A and B are shown apart, each in its own frame.
Chain A
Amino acid sequence: MNYFIQQLINGLTLGSIYGLIAIGYTMVYGIIGMINFAHGDVFMVGAFVSLITVIIFGITGTTNIALGIGALILVAAISMIIAGVYGWTIERLAYRPLRGSFRLAPLITAIGVSIFLQNFVQATQGARVKPLNAIISGGFTILEGNDFVVRITYMQILIVVLTFLLMSGFTYLISKTSLGRAQRACEQDMKMAMLLGIDVNTTISTTFIIGAALASVAGLMYLLYYGVIDFYIGFSAGIKAFTAAVLGGVGSLPGAMLGGLVIGLIEVFFAAYFSSEYKDVAAFSMLIVVLIFMPQGLLGRPEIEKV
């Protein structure tokens, strides 16, 4: 039982990271109807930017939690800004010129951008795995059975709390602010939004920037949680987050968050009870099962044909 609870905690932590990435997929799909396959690599770039920032500021190994959190917020802010610039640039250079082209075109460019980002990071940062000492270490024991000790680390608490804060802020942005309304309007009828004076291109750019910024926070969390990154992490994390977005229902924001948590849990439990070698198989089989039996996802609406 204790073992189960421990895995539950681990799964929720991992799921938070996937959920944050999945939002980027689902938001972009909602607004322009394309799967941005480069999104996983923006996540990877975010992780690298975080790593570089951490090294520049030399903030490792602090035991002072307040200082650690303060430093992390700074790192997160820098990495969100830089990843946002990446997101904007990708949309501007690779996707906008193809808007109004046939549907497959931006999808193919997205794969191109993905390969480009991987090779760009590999060439500039090297192909070796990059380790990082724990910035915030320690934790506390929440359950002490006779056979197994359930621990929750400060890092895990930070990840879950930060994800929760970001997601609430983001939900507020979408539901209450004028930008969020404009995004939802563009989602439903871009032409009409344009005729009401909404600058559709700027709205789409902003969507990419927000998605990239959230992914970069996920990158930072991944870096802190696993302590190692390389240029290839965007691929598997990206596809898992994509699976999460599909599972939750592409286009649905709560769905992306829920899907992220479910995929995180599936992966962790599969690794814990069956085989940690094949944990990716569990997540990807999920994608196949969902696409075949439940293509609209958990919280997605049935596809409405746009006129």
Chain B
Amino acid sequence: MSQPLLSVNQLTMRFGGLTAVDAVSFDVHRNHITAVIGPNGAGKTTAFNCITGFYKPTDGQIVLRHKDDNEFKLEEMEDFRISQHAKVARTFQNIRLFGGMTVLENLMIAQHNHLMKASAYTIGGIFNTPSYQRAQEAAKQKALAWMDRVGITDRADDPAAALPYGAQRKLEIARAMCTDPVLLCLDEPAAGLNPKESEELNALLRSIRDTNDVGILLIEHDMSVVMEISDHIIVLDYGRKISDGTATEVRNDPAVIKAYLGVVEE
């Protein structure tokens, strides 16, 4: 297999005396869906926050490789540059859209850096230069394409907060994808979705994996989602990695059954 997209090596995060993530290592590959699962408090979200720059890890390395072999040491990068340069995008367990702005604007903001350059850092934007207009139009087309793909085109001009819950989830994924990420991190994307919406989500994630050349890393509690779409599963418990493999391997791992799946009837 080729070089992994993301290599997490001995990642450790302590909050005072509490070790939330303890020397966890794993890889995420391009065009793969990698799921991180584990019981509550296992350190999944903390690990996520370290990767996306929300927290600075106490110890360990997080290396992201682009196709051109550029390497980014995420644990050393300033927060907003992780999205800007390393191209990591994420969504949240509790949805964090810009509720007062329209759906279209939410998707345009994700293309901010590109548009800022095109508008010569706003000066071109004020005078509405042709190059800025073109960039703005292109950004709009891209936003429309994503709206179309997640099926919310008819709501383009509504405030994001007015969308139903399931649509907000999709919009969040679309917004993350508008930043042109190489790694898409999803924190419980299926939380609160009904079975039908869950199905649609699975289809969307598969299509992103297959057509968009990104690696997807997700945290999920919904086992039907995890087992169905993941190419690779990492199991955490009390901050440690206890298992790592395909859905079948993890399902039959005694350590996992003991820690976690044992309580779910199978």
Contact = CB atoms under 8 A, between A and B. Distances in A.
A pairs with B: yes
A145 interface: no
B175 A181 contact: no
B83 A177 contact: no
A100 interface: no
A62 to B, nearest CB: 29
B80 A199 contact: yes
A173 B125 contact: yes
Given A172-B126, A177-B125, A189-B98, A198 B109 contact: yes
Contacts of A195: 52-54, 79-80, 82-83, 89-90
A227 B7 CA distance: 67
Interface string A140-180: 00000000000000000000000000000100110011110
A191 B79 CA distance: 9
Nearest to A203: B112
Contacts of B128: 176
Contacts of B83: 194-197
A192 interface: yes
A302 to B, nearest CB: 13
Which among A181, A188, A195, A206 has the highest number of chain B CB atoms within 10 Å? A195
Interface in A25-43: none
A232 B1 CA distance: 71
Contacts of B84: 197, 199
A185 interface: yes
Interface stretch (B19-27, B62-70, B113-121, B239-247): B113-121
Interface string B56-89: 0000000000000000000000011111100001
Nearest to A169: B126
B179 A196 contact: yes
Given A178-B119, A178-B122, A185-B101, A200 B80 contact: yes
B115 A194 contact: no
A301 to B, nearest CB: 8
Contact of A176 (B53, B82, B125): B125
B98 A197 contact: no
Greatest chain B CB density within 10 A among A173, A178, A181, A307 is at A178
Nearest to A196: B110
B112 A198 contact: yes
Interface in B87-110: 89-90, 92, 94, 96, 98-101, 105, 108-110
- Interface of A, secondary structure class, is helix
Interface residues of A, number: 25
A178 B125 contact: yes
B98 to A, nearest CB: 5
Contacts of A223: none
Contact of B109 (A173, A182, A307): A182
Interface string B14-53: 0000000000000000000000000000000000000011
Given A184-B98, A185-B98, A195-B90, A179 B109 contact: no
Contacts of A172: 126
B183 to A, nearest CB: 13
Contacts of A177: 119, 122, 125-126
A306 to B, nearest CB: 11
A169 B175 CA distance: 28
Interface in B194-248: none
A177 B122 CA distance: 7
Interface of B: 52-54, 79-84, 89-90, 92, 94, 96, 98-101, 105, 108-110, 112-113, 115-116, 119, 121-122, 125-126, 128, 136, 175, 179
Nearest 4 CB-CB pairs, A to B?
Answer: A177-B125, A197-B83, A178-B115, A197-B84
Interface of A: 169, 172-173, 176-179, 181-182, 184-185, 188-189, 191-200, 206, 307
18 contacts: A173-B125, A178-B108, A178-B116, A178-B125, A181-B101, A188-B98, A191-B54, A191-B96, A193-B109, A194-B80, A194-B83, A195-B52, A195-B89, A196-B83, A196-B175, A197-B80, A197-B113, A198-B109
Given A178-B116, A181-B109, A197-B112, 12 more contacts: A173-B122, A173-B125, A184-B105, A185-B101, A185-B109, A185-B112, A188-B101, A195-B52, A195-B90, A196-B89, A196-B109, A197-B110
